[in-house]
Structure 1
Amino acid sequence: MLHNKLWLYKEIPQEDIDRVSSNAGISRFLAKIFISRGMEDKESIKKFLNPSLDMLYDPFLLKDMQKAVDRIILAIERKEKIVIYGDYDVDGITSTSVLYNFLKSRNADVDYYIPDRIDEGYGLTAGTVEKVCAMNASLVITVDCGITAIDEVNYINNRKIDVIVTDHHECKEILPDAHAVISPCRPDSQYPFSYLAGVGVVFKLVHAICIAMGLGTEYLNYLDLVALGTVADVVPLVDENRVIVSCGLDKVRNTANIGLKKLVENCNPNSKPITSWMIGYVMAPRINAAGRMGDARRAVRLFTTEDETEASDIVLQLNDENRLRQDMEAEILNEAISIIDADESYMKEKVLVVAGEGWHHGVIGIVASRITEKYHRPCLLFSKEGDIAKGSGRSIDSFDLFEALTHCQDLIDRFGGHEQAAGLTVPADNLPAFRKKINEYADSILNDEDLMPQIEIDVRIDKDDLNRDNIIELDALAPFGAGNPAPVFVYRDLKIGNIRTVGDNRHLKLKLQDEEHLFDAIGFNMGDKADVLRTGDMVDAACTLEINTWNSIDTIQMNLRDLRFGSETAIKEQYYLNLDRCMEMRESAEAGIFNESCDSILQRVKPISRKEFIDLAGSQQNMVIIANTLETVLYIESLLKKISVDIKKVLEICYTIFYNIDVSKIYALINPEPDTLDFSKIDNVVFCGRWVKDSYMKSIIGRIDKSGIYFLDDELIDNIYSDELIPDRRDMVAVYQYVKANCRNNKLVDSLLMLSRRISNSYKINMNSFKLKRSLEIFDELKLMEYREIGGERISLLVADNGKKKTNLENSKSYRYLQQLKAKLKEA
């Protein structure tokens, strides 16, 4: 938030919006969203807006489906014992429940086995297959697991028990030697859609059996549980999954399943519309709590019982365990963050491998997700118990976690999963080697841009778009989830009118203003950013849109996904962050301040007036403006905005370096690095404003081998404000007091930008990242704290324990030099 996130969006031509709107018979507002998502033809849009059951694919297109159906029907007819082997997450629980309920309805002799998450782990294992074989079954059907269980399936086969594998996880090179292996992900699959959840594969199996047995649409009786498991497993809600969830949500609202009905009543006491969000964030965590905190079989009993009292009791148990899970999650998350922040080597690694003693196995997967979200790096979190470490991993879009684990499999006992999530077991002694090897692999795959969090934005909006009709129309795009997220909009140049936190300071509540229009905005889990924002700040908001109802009053609300500073504030903050990269402030004060030898500096430079500057900007030649001070940049931006219509060019601000030159733009280059400059393709170079040092300006002029060098002589460009650049004693006291009060174990990790704004707001002083860095360097010199840059804009501060001993700032050479420089700047 406010930095280090890449916003991805493209402006959409009006003619494209009009064309799609007219052809598809939809509003221009919806047309913009469809275009941004690459969907422009009439038929595709029509299918998307009208998902129906006749869009489901033939289940027999799945490899081995006929073999599986024949074997299951034979088992039903012969009254053979069938055991369903499931998994302890929502997908595995719903998969087990759907198949169990269906086979029970066919009077099959059926039982199920759900492994214990902590004692037995995921999938078929050496320990669990023996227990399954002891259940006297002649047919074992795996659901949501089994695709990598080569040895375990062989073991069951040797016991003269047939195995049918149904799964949706990534396959290894060799498939299990089962009677049938049903998976849309197997290498030889020709099924049209490969992103079914485990319960989706079970649904196709039940559908196929219904076709074979002439049972009509009986398979649709289970669509509520199938939708539940599909949403909870975070598979893309497109194509067949969109049909399953769209139609399944209607069945959830009016479910005949006793356990699901009790769960809905408990999670939704006010009878709000059942949405994919409610399933994913309210209902699914309670179901998952069964396996995370205890026996997952209870969740299967919830969805298979015909006893309302039993169902109600189980729902209450799951509520209690979900609260316990939340407490454990917070505790482990804080421990993991402390480990990462205390070890600076983590900031140099692309994959975070973190281990703790006795962390609850059922919770580490959620915590890994939180860590990945916070640091935008793949994370593998391990719980060490004796000589074994059981782990759970989560990843980012650009890193295939399953492939990475395959690369490291010589150090792993067992693993399974897919691109974005995985579980694994590693000998504890192998963890250092594993951490090193997976990071070596990541270094070969990922670059720095991959580690920058991205927000995909659909459409830019303004005040005219924010009306009730448009927001209600967005419901046509639901259900939302992976692959079909709620549309994200960008609204630019909003003024912050009010800042507060709600929900025990966890959430951020803002009033945002565009001229006379006021809008409410909520930022969930953004409460910690309240102390870096200021009333009057101009911001751009990335958000979803919703109708918020409070006390029977409906209001339009922005649900914030991110904030970044608006153009003027962003220029200021970026200026300060880049200023010290290009100027050596530690040179002697006697080396010269601006204008000390103006004639020698400008002997190759032609002064021009403001009118001549405007004429030059409007010419067919390209132009780069070079400036050293913030006031110059803001003045030039203001000047060019006034004339941009006449000259038909836009200003692009660059820091330290520029790349491709576009004649339709004017470039303002702030604090350039002389050694990186190439002016060979530049027609005109215009220096503007004051310069802190003539030597800096000379070094840039020396890189220019052309006659088109100018200096804008404009009295309206302000002088250098030393108070903006050089900290005084009051500033230094505020910095030291804030850092000491807010460090943890004498250590504080933050970014210069965020820390400077927090100090500013706390002490009501003018602090920026440039002044803050000067202050920290002085404290480092005086050994009051250790200051280090640890990557990107992040810094590490270690406060020294000096007791009550006082330190004189004048003992710092840097402090004395800065005060001398400040005096000379004011004198000039």
Structure 2
Amino acid sequence: MPSAAAMAALGDIDPVHARLFAMRGLAGPEELDYGLARLAPVSSLDNIDEAAELVIAHRERRIIVVGDFDVDGATSTALVLRCLREFGFGDVDYLVPNRFDYGYGLTPEIVSVAAQRDPALLLTVDNGISSIEGVEEANRLGIPVLVTDHHLPGENLPEATVILNPNLPGSAFPSTCLAGVGVAFYLMARVGRMLEAQGVEGAAKVPAKYLDLVALGTVADVVPLDHNNRVLVHQGLRRIRAGRSIAGIQALLQQAGRQPARCVSSDLGFAAGPRINAAGRLEDISVGIECLLSDDFDTAMHHAGLLDRINSERRDIEATMRDQAFAYVDSLGAQRWPACVCVYDAEWHQGVVGLIAARVRERCHRPVIAFARESDELLKGSARSIQGVHVRDLLEAVHAVKPELIVKFGGHAMAAGLTIAEAHFAQFREVVAAQMARLYPDADFSGAIVTDGPLPGEALSLEFARSLREAGPWGAAFPEPTWCGDFTIEEQRVVGQNHLKLRVRPAAGGRAVDAIAFNQAGPAYRGTIQLAFRLDVNEYRGVESPQLVVEQVAEL
């Protein structure tokens, strides 16, 4: 519970909101100011001037943007292409490696493909910091490379012409949590200002038009929402709600049944984002990028429909893999779960293993690495972690003691990717569990949900639910409020495929309220239960009402 002084420091705001913000580490009202003027200065990002000058020097020549096959990569690619074209650059195109043919990043093979288009500059977005061999190949071919990335650098850096990354060693930039699209936005902002100074009227205002792309990529990549990222997401959501977003985002939201005028960060993270990601997981992310590049709404809706179909296929594949993974870990028994769980099946789809790692983590409450076959001899793995465990550092520790076990790896604190030889899977599984136990002996595997405490019955209102929606943007490291309380069940039924719909009343008295527990159908509850929940606004046929989104149910 924050102190009265900490709450008072936030200024004259509602006490419940003051408590929420203080519990999330906010120290003053300036941290609730999400105006663009509150962004960390563009000029404070290391190497930003050199990067912008390099781009401008190639405005009359061919630039190829090399992206990544996820939402962050797709939004970064679309942002850079849209800005450069609007700046007047005449020859800008993109290339995204197909994950099944080329793997991740600027590999030597993808450089060879790019070289066939005779580029004067390769500009990576959301990748490149680990592409040492790829940059070497570009240098051998005489093609300069501008790396823009946000992933943590390894011990060695690629010998690119310029590297733009807030996580470079020695960087003083105050927001190391920028997503790849955030780094791309900073670069385009600096290019726009330089061009404006050179007489290109209106160039400085162009990048802000695409803050909706920045919001989508930032939320979908699940980077921590520090103050700088909250400014970017808030501004992007404002554009979407005001009807000033690009056609692709409008189409994706409508395809998902979400109203752009009511858009919040969870709509980006759980509705628009997964549809783009599905293309990168199963087929080719290009259809997602083309959706984000289209200015014609009908064309964007066509692409959004394709993405929706691919996403439905992804759900089916994921469901089968998830059931198989659950069967495996359940067969072990909770008492035999290692400190880091590894799951693998030779028939699994490599594009979906990240989702399986996340689902198994939710079941086992510990770091999980899911593997699928990449080739006859190699496995591709995707890791998902828990709070307090830096999974990239964990892989670094494995590489330090047994370097032969990992072919390559990279990532963040909460997510990472790696490649290993299939013959080394059993040994890797043992070594990563041992290193996890050594590095994090006090890791919390309980799965306990940390809540913001009980919510008074009178706060279960539409007015308060609306105020919580407007208090965001919520996201990673700035979580949406989760409450707890005892409720009496009045009604319950299963809706959809696996969702539990409830009508409950606070045990202490008060009005009844609807509740939905996604993917939690199963046991029938009776009497009084304890819920951990988020309070949201549900809209049905134009009528809004408060609704509890249940995270966990416990019988009393």
Change (3 A) 1:66 1:23: closer
Quote the Cα distance in structure 2 between the aligned partners of 1:221 and 1:23: 31
* Residue 472 in structure 1 maps to residue 472 in structure 2: no
Contact 1:519 1:556 survives alignment (8 Å): no
Pick aligned residue for 1:112 from 76, 94, 97: 94
* Residue 92 in structure 1 maps to residue 73 in structure 2: yes
Q: Which residue of 2 aligns with 1:457?
A: 451
Q: Which residue of 1 aligns with 2:122?
A: 140
Contact 2:495 2:501 survives alignment (8 Å): yes
Contact 2:492 2:500 survives alignment (8 Å): no
Show the 5 A alignment for 1:145-294.
Answer: 145-214=127-196, 215-253=203-241, 254-255=243-244, 257-268=246-257, 273-294=262-283
Show the 5 A alignment for 1:293-442.
Answer: 293-344=282-333, 347-384=336-373, 385-409=375-399, 410=403, 411-442=405-436
Q: Which residue of 1 aligns with 2:493?
A: 500
* Residue 72 in structure 1 maps to residue 55 in structure 2: yes
Shift, 1:529, TM fit: 5.0
| Structure 1 residues 757-812: Cα deviation after superposition (integer angstroms, max 9, x where no partner) | xxxxxxxxxxxxxxxxxxxxxxxxxxxxxxxxxxxxxxxxxxxxxxxxxxxxxxxx
The worse-fitting range, judged by mean Cα deviation, of 438-447 and 87-96 is 438-447
Change (3 A) 1:229 1:205: same
TM-score normalised to the size of structure 1?
0.62
Contact 1:169 1:185 survives alignment (8 Å): yes
Q: Which residue of 1 aligns with 2:200?
A: none
Quote the Cα distance in structure 2 between the aligned partners of 1:192 and 1:246: 19
* Residue 524 in structure 1 maps to residue 505 in structure 2: no
| Structure 1 residues 401-439: Cα deviation after superposition (integer angstroms, max 9, x where no partner) | 111112223111112211111111111001111111101
| Structure 1 residues 318-362: Cα deviation after superposition (integer angstroms, max 9, x where no partner) | 111110010000011111112222345983311111111131121
Q: Which residue of 2 aligns with 1:629?
A: none
Quote the Cα distance in structure 2 between the aligned partners of 1:50 and 1:380: 39
Quote the Cα distance in structure 1 between the aligned partners of 2:461 and 2:89: 55
**Which secondary structure state, in structure 1, belongs to the residue aligned with residue 426 of structure 2?**
helix
Quote the Cα distance in structure 2 between the aligned partners of 1:498 and 1:262: 36
Quote the Cα distance in structure 1 between the aligned partners of 2:233 and 2:417: 26
Quote the Cα distance in structure 1 between the aligned partners of 2:394 and 2:10: 45
Quote the Cα distance in structure 2 between the aligned partners of 1:22 and 1:402: 36
| Structure 1 residues 558-605: Cα deviation after superposition (integer angstroms, max 9, x where no partner) | 22222335xxx4xxxxxxxxxxxxxxxxxxxxxxxxxxxxxxxxxxxx
Contact 2:457 2:511 survives alignment (8 Å): no
| Structure 1 residues 255-299: Cα deviation after superposition (integer angstroms, max 9, x where no partner) | 353333333332346555111111111111111122112111121
Quote the Cα distance in structure 1 between the aligned partners of 2:463 and 2:396: 50
Change (3 A) 1:207 1:496: same
Contact 1:416 1:423 survives alignment (8 Å): yes
Change (3 A) 1:372 1:164: same
Q: Which has the larger radius of gyration?
A: 1
Quote the Cα distance in structure 1 between the aligned partners of 2:523 and 2:245: 46
Shift, 1:175, TM fit: 1.6
The one-letter code matched in structure 1 to 2:538 is N
Contact 1:199 1:226 survives alignment (8 Å): yes
Quote the Cα distance in structure 1 between the aligned partners of 2:542 and 2:240: 26
Shift, 1:212, TM fit: 1.0
Q: Which residue of 1 aligns with 2:199?
A: none
Q: Which residue of 2 aligns with 1:536?
A: 527
* Residue 49 in structure 1 maps to residue 39 in structure 2: no
Compute the RMSD of aligned alpha carbons.
2.3
Quote the Cα distance in structure 2 between the aligned partners of 1:474 and 1:72: 42
Percentage of pairs with the same residue: 31
**Which secondary structure state, in structure 1, belongs to the residue aligned with residue 523 of structure 2?**
helix
Change (3 A) 1:549 1:132: closer
Pick aligned residue for 2:480 from 486, 496, 521: 486
Change (3 A) 1:499 1:431: same
Change (3 A) 1:346 1:84: farther
TM-score normalised to the size of structure 2?
0.92
Contact 2:240 2:263 survives alignment (8 Å): yes
Q: Which residue of 1 aligns with 2:17?
A: 30
Quote the Cα distance in structure 2 between the aligned partners of 1:35 and 1:111: 46
Change (3 A) 1:416 1:505: closer
Quote the Cα distance in structure 1 between the aligned partners of 2:376 and 2:47: 42
Quote the Cα distance in structure 2 between the aligned partners of 1:315 and 1:201: 26
Question: Structure 2: where are the runs of 5+ without partners?
Answer: 197-202
Change (3 A) 1:356 1:557: same
Contact 1:500 1:510 survives alignment (8 Å): no
Contact 1:519 1:557 survives alignment (8 Å): no
- Higher relative contact order (Cα pairs below 8 Å, separated by 6+ residues): 2
Contact 2:79 2:184 survives alignment (8 Å): yes
Show the 5 A alignment for 1:590-601.
Answer: none
The one-letter code matched in structure 1 to 2:287 is R
